[in-house]
Amino acid sequence: MLNILMIEDDIELAEILSEFLEQNDIKVTNYDEPYTGMSALATHEYDLLLLDLTLPNLDGLEVCKRVAKQKNIPIIISSARSDLNDKVKALEYGADDYIPKPYDPQELLARIHSLLRRYNKKDSKNTEKEKDCIFKIDRESREVFFKDKKVELTRAEYEILTLLISKKGHVFSREAIAIESESINPESSNKSIDVIIGRLRAKIEDDPKKPKYIISVRGVGYKLEV
């Protein structure tokens, strides 16, 4: 049975959708408050997130952005907000689909199955591509393995290393690294980034003074070479 997390503050709608989906072998757990929902997502395994946008305490777009950065999970936005900017932002932030309310539950069911089929195919391809990669990321446990050995990382080190791994060969400026890393103040000095890079090199390089993996690009920033 599929296991879906829903974050929806319309309790009546949540009950209707939950009842329908459970009749189709999909277990639904709903939270009407976004922080509680994100907490559940951090501690339990779900196959998909069904997310409303107009939520108390935290806008659904921000929830989508945070979840997409931290979890590899399919996200469907279910919202009555019809503004094109909301749709564009949701997809840019990491949502995979956007279904405007009101809709027939049958359509939602079809979208769920379609999205999960695509995800399963993508995961299979990614597994094949990463078989020979010396860096492996377990995003569920927020761990990185280098040559099949776990690397002990602080939160900032994890965020920077996974950023570099995600786009091998791409040169990131120090400013971009700070912006993309949640635990680093975007106004942090370049020296702060350099210090963290130095710690990462000490953990993965044979000779941190002559790095083979985390490469400095003079006047720009850093890239990962594999």
Helices 84-93 & 60-70, crossing angle to 10 degrees? 20
- E-state strands within 74-148: 75-79, 97-100, 135-138, 143-146
d(CA 126, CA 166): 12
What is the chain's pLDDT, residue by residue, as a tens digit (226 residues)?
899 999 999 999 999 999 999 999 999 999 999 999 999 998 888 999 999 999 999 999 999 999 988 888 899 999 999 888 999 999 999 899 999 999 999 999 999 999 998 877 555 445 444 444 789 888 878 899 998 899 999 999 999 999 999 888 889 998 888 888 887 776 666 788 999 999 999 999 999 999 999 999 988 899 999 8
Would you state the pLDDT for residue 121?
Answer: 59
pTM > 0.75:
no
Phi, psi of 166 (to 5 degrees): -65, -25
Distance CA 174, CA 46 (A): 34
Using alpha carbons, list the distances in angstroms from residue 196 to 70, 150, 154.
Answer: 20, 18, 10
What are the tens digits of pLDDT across the range 135-147?
988 887 889 999 8
- Confirm if 54 and 81 have CB atoms less than 8 A apart: yes
